[in-house]
Amino acid sequence: MGRGQVQDNSEFMIRQFTSVGQPAVPKGDDVMILCPNPQHDDSNPSFGIDKSGKMGYCFACGWKQSYDQVAEKLGLQKLFGEGGKIDEVKALQSAIAAFEASQTSKDKKLIVPRMLKKWQGGFKKFSPEILHALDTQAWADYRKDGTLVRRIFWPFWQKNQLLGGTGRIIPEDEPKRRKTESPETFKRRLKDFYRDNPKYRNLSGNKAKRVLFPYDSYEDLLPVVLLVEGPTSCIRMLDVGIPAMAILGIRNWSSTKKTLLLGKGCKKVVVAFDGDPAGRSARDDIVADLDELFDVHVLDLPDGQDPYDLSDKWIKWLRKKVYRMGAEFPFDYRDAA
C-alpha cells in the first residue's frame, strides 16, 4: 500500500548496499540481499525488498523489515523521512499544486492554504501504520477570526493520478460544550461552527464523483470489497483487515465507480452504508445498480451507526464473513490491508 505511485527505488537501494560491500541483486521486482536478521546466518541472498523499499521479507526465515529499517542498521541513506531520497510531503505538495493549476476557474469551489506535514502518530481508533500507508498528512486552514483549524488530510490517488483529497477537522479543534451551556445552545453553536468551517474540506476541484477511496492502495485484485460512505469508516475497516472502499458520500455514486470496481476484479460487493434513512435509501438504489454485474450483499447497520462505530464483536463477525466470501478466490486479500 502507499501513495499510489509505486516508485521504483531499486537502483538507489542497490547503490546504497554495494557502497558498504553488501551484495545486492535485482530479482523480478525485488532487490535481494543477505538476510539482516542477526539470528539468520544467510549465505545466499534470501531477503527480498520490493521496489518501493517499503516491504522487505526473508524467504528463508520470514524476517520483515523495510529498506529504511535495514538502512538504519547499516548506516545507509534512507528513502523516506528527513534527509531521505524521497520527501513525500514535497512530492504531494507539488502534485496538489499541479492538480489545482489544472482546474478551470469554474471548478474552483474551495481554496485551501497548502500547509502540509506528514501525519505523525495515530488518529481516533486508527493505527499509525494504516495512516502512514494512506499517505496521511496534517493540514490546516484558517477560521474567520484568523486562528487555525487543524485537519487530518487524505489525498485521493487513483491510477497514479491525484484526483483530489479531503481534510477532516481534528476533534481537538471542534467546539466542546460549555458547562453553562444548554444542549440547544451548543447545537446551534456547533451548526454555526460547521457553516464557517466544514467538517470535511476538499481540495478545490475535487473529483469525488470519480473516486473510490483508497483505490491505488490495493495493488492486487480485490474479489470482495465492502463499500462504505465515508473515509473514516473505510479506514477503520482497512485497519482491522477488512478490504473496503469509500464512495465519498451517497451523492457521489456514479457509473465510473462501477467500472472501477470491475477494474479491480471485484466479484462480490458488500454494501455497508450508514444506519440512517438517507444511507438506507441510497443503499437500495446502489444495490439495484450493482445487481446485474456483481454478487451484492447488504450489511444493515443499527440505527445511528456507521461502520466506524462497529463494536469489536461486530467487526470479528464481519471479518469472518468477508473472509469466507473471499476464500472462494485464489487470493489472500488480508495482505492488502
Query: Could you tell me the smallest distance in angstroms from the CB atom of residue 36 to Zn ion?
Result: 8
What the block records as the C-alpha cell of 116 is 502540509
Instruction: Determine the Cα–Cα distance for residues 331 and 53; give it in Å rounded to an integer.
Output: 23
Minimum Å distance from CB 57 to Zn ion? 9
**Among residues 206, 204, 154, 152, which one has the least CA distance to residue 174?**
152
Cell of 160: 497514479
> Hey, what's the torsion of the CAs at 13, 14, 20, 21, to 10 degrees?
160
The single residue listed with the C-alpha cell 484568523 is 146
Q: How far apart are CA 293 and CA 286, in angstroms?
A: 12
Q: How many Å apart are CA 326 and CA 222, to the nearest integer?
A: 9
Pick between residue 60 and residue 288 the one whose CB is nearest to Zn ion.
60
Report the candidate in 118, 126, 198 with the shortest Cα–Cα distance to residue 166.
Answer: 198
Residue 138 backbone class (left: φ over 0; alpha: ψ -120 to 50; beta: rest):
beta
CB of 267 to Zn ion, least distance (A): 36
Please state the closest distance from residue 315 (CB atom) to Zn ion, in A: 33
CB of 162 to Zn ion, least distance (A): 37
Residues that bind Zn ion (CB under 5 A): 35, 37, 40, 58, 60-61, 63
Between 35 and 96, whose beta carbon lies closer to Zn ion? 35
For Zn ion, the closer of residues 63 and 333 by Cβ is 63
Could you tell me which residues are beta bridge partners of residue 30? 27, 50
- Of the two residues 36 and 214, which places its CB atom closer to Zn ion in the complex? 36
CB of 56 to Zn ion, least distance (A): 10
Nearer to Zn ion, 56 or 164 (CB): 56
Distance of closest approach, residue 124 Cβ to Zn ion, in angstroms:
36
Q: Report which secondary-structure segment, H or E, holds 304.
A: none
The answer to whether the bond into 214 is cis (omega within 30° of 0) is yes
Selection from 337, 56, 57 nearest residue 222 by Cα: 337
Output 68 or 173, the one with its CB closest to Zn ion.
Answer: 68
Nearest-approach distance from CB 39 to Zn ion, in angstroms: 8
Specify the residue, 70 or 224, whose C-beta has the smaller distance to Zn ion.
Answer: 70
Cα-based torsion angle of the residue sequence 300, 305, 311, 313 in order, rounded to the nearest 10 degrees: -10
Which residue's CB is nearer to Zn ion, number 61 or number 190? Answer: 61
